[in-house]
């Protein structure tokens, strides 16, 4: 069966990689950019190859670690202790250990205890997340941790993450996030451990691509798909700059709005259902510094006046020797399409972010900067709501042999390397079962 996978990000590659293991599929992957990896990819920067955006691998990310082992990269994995901090009311506070949590000055003792209870409650006592879908994150957090904790900790963080639009965000988001981040503590050392592959996710991406081609698959970069061709409610193939190519099966992994534009002959109802899905975007300033800025991997910011969401210094986890002895600092801002930052030039964003960074850290000097670059992505994370006016599209579209697999379907897992590779594996397995007639779920059911 001749298969086309549209999108060479981590999800598209994961699906193509798994399908290429099966002798009855001839896999063809189309990526519009000149490099595979998408938001997980790398770029040349300050005389090194670095992640475009910040990523880490947790010691609980079983599927990612299994994949890394499969492609022969286990010796490239490095784990280290990481720390978190909070920037609150102009001061930095460590927030890695339970003891540091209990000493957090902005909260009274009862609030700190309730904050700890919230974390433990998420980790140990919630097994069925479905009821959380109907609860707003504000009401749920206030009920568990109290109003003061919510106003001082959770509200500013939610405001930063969702660009102020978190009123209808379900409690599922915080539950999923807390379960993930609290899984990093090593049982033997009781330390928070995070890891990376030498060379970043791009090392894994390139290894997966090699495996696909060795198995007879075809990978095309710089190959922009102009149309998914439909005839009589069935997919026929793809139109690219090279012309039309016929395929037996097409799997689209790009954001829903992009897929809608590739389907001019699909029903208006189906195309609209894809376009109605809201996404957060991101603007991120990456700095290469000649010295360390903070002792934390993540510095969460509770001051809503600061235009970026957090300060991420990845070289507290990645040994600087792997990135030309630079210290890498990411200043991300997740944003809605209406945020004024989307209309600013890169230079304007750079100046705005650096001015605020200097206000946060008076000791910071611009002559520390070796290089700086602004990165942008419009479709990073789909937005879910307690009202859920949109529905995650099913794996199988209304058109025979056309499948859609993207991050809208991963919920309640958050979008990260672990959830994406896990989902890619599930998609490939379920497609194989459906096409062989062994499927245990209806053809139009989502995974």
Nearest CA among 178, 184, 160 for reference residue 341:
160
Please state, rounded to an integer, the average pLDDT across all residues of the chain. 92
Q: How far apart are CA 38 and CA 30, in angstroms?
A: 12
What's the pLDDT score for residue 53? 96
What's the pLDDT score for residue 160? 87
Residue 138 has pLDDT above 70, yes or no: yes
**Element holding 172 (H helix, E strand):** helix 172-181
What's the pLDDT score for residue 443? 43
The residue that leads in pLDDT, 412 or 201, is 201
What DSSP letter does each residue of 270-334 carry, written as one string?
Answer: HHHHHHT--EEEEEEEEEEESS---S-SEEEE--TTSSSSEEEEGGGTS-GGGGTT-EEEEEEEE
Q: How far apart are CA 181 and CA 431, in angstroms?
A: 31
The lowest-confidence range among 8-12, 56-60, 98-102 is 98-102
What's the pLDDT score for residue 407? 94
What's the pLDDT score for residue 435? 82
Chain segment 181-199, per-residue pLDDT in tens? 776 655 565 567 899 999 9
Chain segment 112-133, per-residue pLDDT in tens? 889 888 988 888 888 889 999 9
What's the pLDDT score for residue 317? 96
Residue 323 has pLDDT above 80, yes or no: yes
Residue 253 has pLDDT above 80, yes or no: yes
What's the pLDDT score for residue 438? 57
Q: How far apart are CA 180 and CA 413, in angstroms?
A: 9
Interacting residues of 306 by C-beta distance below 8 A, sequence separation 6+: 87, 356, 360
Chain segment 420-447, per-residue pLDDT in tens? 999 999 999 999 888 877 554 444 444 4
Positive or negative, the CA dihedral 415, 421, 425, 428 is positive
Question: With pLDDT > 70 as the criterion, what percentage of the chain qualifies?
Answer: 95
The residue that leads in pLDDT, 70 or 178, is 70
Q: Beta strands of 95-216 (E only): which ranges?
A: 193-197
Question: With pLDDT > 90 as the criterion, what percentage of the chain qualifies?
Answer: 76
Chain segment 146-166, per-residue pLDDT in tens? 999 999 889 988 998 898 889
The lowest-confidence range among 61-70, 105-114, 320-329, 367-376 is 105-114
What's the pLDDT score for residue 189? 55
Chain segment 284-321, per-residue pLDDT in tens? 999 999 999 999 999 999 888 899 999 999 999 999 99
Count how many Cα atoms sit within 13 Å of the Cα of residue 191 in the half-sphere of its side chain. Answer: 9
What's the pLDDT score for residue 59? 87
Domains of the chain: 2-55+200-277+387-435 (3.50.50.60), 97-181 (no CATH), 279-382 (3.90.660.10)
Q: How far apart are CA 396 and CA 404, in angstroms?
A: 6
Chain segment 220-238, per-residue pLDDT in tens? 999 999 999 999 999 999 9
Q: How far apart are CA 11 and CA 31, in angstroms?
A: 12
Interacting residues of 267 by C-beta distance below 8 A, sequence separation 6+: 398
What's the pLDDT score for residue 442? 45
Chain segment 61-99, per-residue pLDDT in tens? 999 999 999 999 999 999 999 999 999 989 999 988 777
What's the pLDDT score for residue 436? 79
């Amino acid at each position: 069966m001749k298969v086309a996978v549209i999108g060479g990000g981590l999800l598209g590659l994961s699906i193509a990689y798994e399908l290429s293991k099966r002798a009855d599929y001839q896999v063809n992957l189309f990526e519009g950019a000149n490099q595979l990896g998408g938001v997980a990819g790398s770029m040349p920067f300050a005389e090194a190859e670095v992640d475009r955006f910040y990523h880490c691998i947790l010691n609980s990310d079983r599927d990612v670690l299994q994949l890394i082992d499969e492609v022969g990269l286990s010796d490239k994995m490095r784990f280290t202790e990481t720390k978190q901090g909070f920037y609150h009311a102009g001061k930095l506070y460590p927030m890695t250990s339970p003891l540091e949590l209990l000493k957090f000055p902005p909260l009274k003792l009862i609030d700190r205890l309730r904050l700890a209870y919230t974390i433990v409650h998420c980790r140990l006592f919630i097994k069925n997340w479905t009821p959380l879908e109907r609860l707003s994150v504000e009401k749920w957090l206030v009920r568990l941790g109290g109003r003061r904790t919510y106003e001082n900790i959770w509200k500013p963080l939610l405001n930063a993450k969702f660009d102020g639009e978190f009123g209808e965000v379900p409690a599922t988001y915080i539950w999923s996030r807390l379960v993930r981040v609290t899984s990093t503590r090593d049982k033997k050392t009781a330390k928070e451990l995070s890891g990376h592959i030498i060379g970043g996710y791009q090392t894994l991406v390139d290894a997966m691509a090699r495996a696909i081609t060795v198995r007879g698959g075809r990978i095309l970069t710089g190959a922009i798909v102009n149309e998914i061709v439909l005839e009589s409610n069935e997919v026929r193939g793809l139109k690219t700059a090279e012309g039309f190519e016929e395929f037996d099966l097409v799997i689209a992994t790009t954001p829903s709005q992009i897929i809608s534009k590739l389907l001019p002959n699909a029903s208006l109802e189906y195309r609209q259902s894809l376009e109605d899905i809201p996404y957060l975007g991101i603007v991120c300033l990456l700095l290469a510094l000649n010295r360390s800025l903070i002792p934390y991997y993540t510095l969460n910011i509770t001051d809503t006046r600061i235009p970026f969401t957090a300060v991420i210094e990845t070289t507290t986890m990645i040994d600087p020797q792997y990135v030309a002895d630079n210290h890498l600092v990411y200043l991300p801002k997740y944003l809605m399409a209406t945020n004024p930052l989307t209309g600013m030039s890169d230079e304007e964003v750079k100046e705005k972010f650096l001015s605020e960074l200097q206000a946060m850290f008076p000791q910071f000097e611009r002559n520390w900067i070796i290089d700086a670059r602004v990165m942008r992505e419009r479709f990073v994370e789909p937005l879910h709501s307690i009202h859920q006016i949109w529905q995650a599209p099913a794996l199988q579209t209304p058109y025979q042999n056309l499948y859609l697999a993207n991050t809208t379907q991963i919920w309640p897992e958050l979008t990260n390397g672990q959830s994406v590779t896990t989902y890619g594996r599930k998609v490939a397995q379920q497609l194989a079962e459906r096409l062989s007639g062994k499927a245990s779920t209806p053809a139009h059911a989502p995974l």
